[in-house]
Chains A and B, each alone.
Chain A
Amino acid sequence: MIINHPILGPRDAAEFTYLGDVSLLDRPDWQSANAPQEFHDYMYLRNNPAGQHRELWYHELGDRSWLVVTRNTLTHEISKVELASDVARARGNSK
């Protein structure tokens, strides 16, 4: 697979490590009344779809940026690559 890095251009996926579903950006509020359940769901449960999947990749052997890659889990086709920091800010996270 080739990941089209928004800054560096097309890079071999072997330069990256994979973390998982983009929902891992949405860390629950630790002060929430239901925090134990929310953290359990955040850490352990996954959507795991067959089709479009937004996921976190880390450019470990490159510029060490985190990316959000939109990829089809049935064909491995990558349709969109964004900087995770941009995605996080758009979701209202602090960084």
Chain B
Amino acid sequence: MRFSGFKVIKEALMGHKGWGPQWRDPEPKKHYDIIIIGGGGHGLATAYYLAKEFGQKNIAVIEKGWIGGGNVGRNTTIIRSNYMLDGNGPFYEFSLKLWEGLEQDFNYNAMVSQRGILNLAHTDGQRDAYIRRGNAMILNGADAEYLTADQLRKKLPFLNFDNARFPIKGGLAQRRGGTVRHDAVAWGYARGADQRGVDIIQNCEVTGFRIKNGKCLGVETSRGFIGATKIGTAVAGSSGRLMAKADMRLPIESHVLQAFVSEGLKPVLPGVITFGAGHFYVSQSDKGGLVFGGDIDGYNTYAQRGNLPVVEDVCEGGMAIMPMIGRARLLRMWGGVMDMSMDGSPFIDKTHIDGLYFNGGWCYGGFKATPASGFCFAHLLAKDEPHEVATEFRLDRFMRGHMIDEKGMGAQPNLH
């Protein structure tokens, strides 16, 4: 079934009885050419692109719970490509380009809204750093624009420009950044993959890998053994836990990031705004809620909830740049578990085990990467070589000394 204006009108007249399920609920086969572990955004996108762009058939996505129930349903929905380093910039710009064409590509309304993202600068040094970053972005094919305080005053009069401690000196804007309806991304990819014959197997937990003579032959699951020629894992947040079953130690710690939504308000924020002196970012959802967040809690955890000191810190950040936020009531808050890597950058790579491929380490930036992560992981799985924009996301980059450390924090995951 293809979605179209005609179909919407037809269903409206027919009492919406003809939509039907958007993907099948198949029993697992005994063997697949490629199994993707993890039915989140990245896993479903990988399966979709494997089937659509790389001509692969006989693919399964295995998911412990229900698809889209992990971090693709728990993030703050921001897309952007404002990265500086060569290993990252072209990859995230590729991702943003895929976002721009995504809805036409998979025929699903993901509500991609390029409402812009603005990183505020509060010191002269930060202004210079942002202009440098903007230049790097432009060299990598992204868009960037430095806005002065006067330009921002006209556009965003509610910001606290004359804060004695953190005055707003300007900001780096990326107008093509924005937000996306996150759940619809998982659903759109799932539907697109299913239409191309991918088996999406939910409620099927991987309990182990069957590895013989250094080759991975398949996965043990709660629904029995499933064989596969190639297995890709895309379970960011739980990578440490899953790969331990293959006796792998990763350059990753699992941390929790909290997010918050206020009550619904009339439109007040035109785009995404981030605080440059602390860690705070905010946007407004189409339902009207202010969606915001800040730092990770900073200790190893797999619990999908955080602690109060970070809640206080996030609210202080909000009050520092946007005092009007103090009048909004908090509606919901939650936590998501993320793979924090040793340099703040992800991995899309083969492992030392033949037939086992790894995708993870997305830190708190995995959502925006979803299309490119899926595309590049599919490229790696199908062709056994990395996509040209993902050549640096290797597991051995620390041994080689080629880390991609955007923040320059070193091997301390809770500081990235």
The interface of chain A, by Cβ under 8 A from chain B, is 1, 12-14, 17-21, 36-37, 40-41, 43-50, 53, 55, 71, 73-76
Contact = CB atoms under 8 A, between A and B. Distances in A.
Interface of B: 238, 240-241, 244, 249-254, 298-303, 307, 309, 342, 398-399, 411-414
Contacts of B298: 17-18
A48 B300 contact: yes
16 contacts: A12-B309, A18-B299, A20-B300, A20-B414, A21-B253, A37-B399, A46-B252, A47-B244, A47-B249, A48-B240, A48-B252, A48-B254, A49-B241, A50-B302, A55-B299, A75-B303
B404 to A, nearest CB: 13
A46 B249 contact: yes
A84 B302 CA distance: 24
B240 A49 contact: yes
A13 B312 CA distance: 14
A44 B300 contact: no
Nearest to B298: A18
A95 B254 CA distance: 29
A73 B244 contact: no
B300 A73 contact: yes
A29 B299 CA distance: 28
Contacts of B303: 73-76
Contacts of B302: 50, 73-74
Contacts of A76: 301, 303, 307
Given A12-B309, A18-B298, A40-B399, 15 more contacts: A17-B298, A37-B399, A41-B249, A44-B251, A44-B342, A45-B249, A46-B250, A46-B252, A48-B241, A48-B249, A48-B254, A48-B300, A53-B300, A55-B299, A76-B307
A1 B253 contact: no
A35 B252 CA distance: 21
A52 to B, nearest CB: 11
Given A46-B252, A74-B302, A18 B398 contact: no
A56 B331 CA distance: 35
A93 to B, nearest CB: 21
Nearest to A16: B299
Contact of A45 (B251, B254, B301, B307): B251
A43 B240 CA distance: 16
A14 B250 contact: no
Nearest to B310: A14
A73 B254 contact: yes
Which 10 pairs across A and B sit closest by C-beta, in order of nearness? Answer: A48-B240, A14-B309, A45-B249, A44-B398, A44-B251, A50-B302, A18-B299, A50-B241, A44-B342, A73-B301
A77 to B, nearest CB: 10
A54 B300 CA distance: 10
B399 A45 contact: no
A21 B251 CA distance: 12
Contacts of A41: 249
Q: Which among A37, A43, A50 has the greatest number of chain B C-beta atoms within 10 A?
A: A50
A44 to B, nearest CB: 4
Given A40-B399, A73-B300, A76-B303, A20 B240 contact: no
Contact of A20 (B238, B301, B413): B413
Contacts of B240: 46-50
Contacts of A40: 398-399
A45 to B, nearest CB: 4
Given A14-B309, A44-B251, A49 B299 contact: no
Contacts of A74: 301-303
A14 B302 CA distance: 19
Nearest to A42: B411
A73 B299 CA distance: 9
Contacts of A73: 254, 300-303
Q: Which among B301, B307, B342, B412 has the greatest number of chain A C-beta atoms within 10 A?
A: B301
Contacts of B253: 20-21, 46, 48
Contacts of B413: 20
Contacts of B301: 73-74, 76
B300 A55 contact: yes
Contacts of A13: 299, 307, 309
Q: Which among A12, A13, A75 has the greatest number of chain B C-beta atoms within 10 A?
A: A13
Nearest to A51: B302
Contacts of A43: 342, 398, 411
Contacts of B399: 36-37, 40
A41 B298 CA distance: 21
A76 B411 CA distance: 24
Contact of A48 (B250, B307, B398, B414): B250
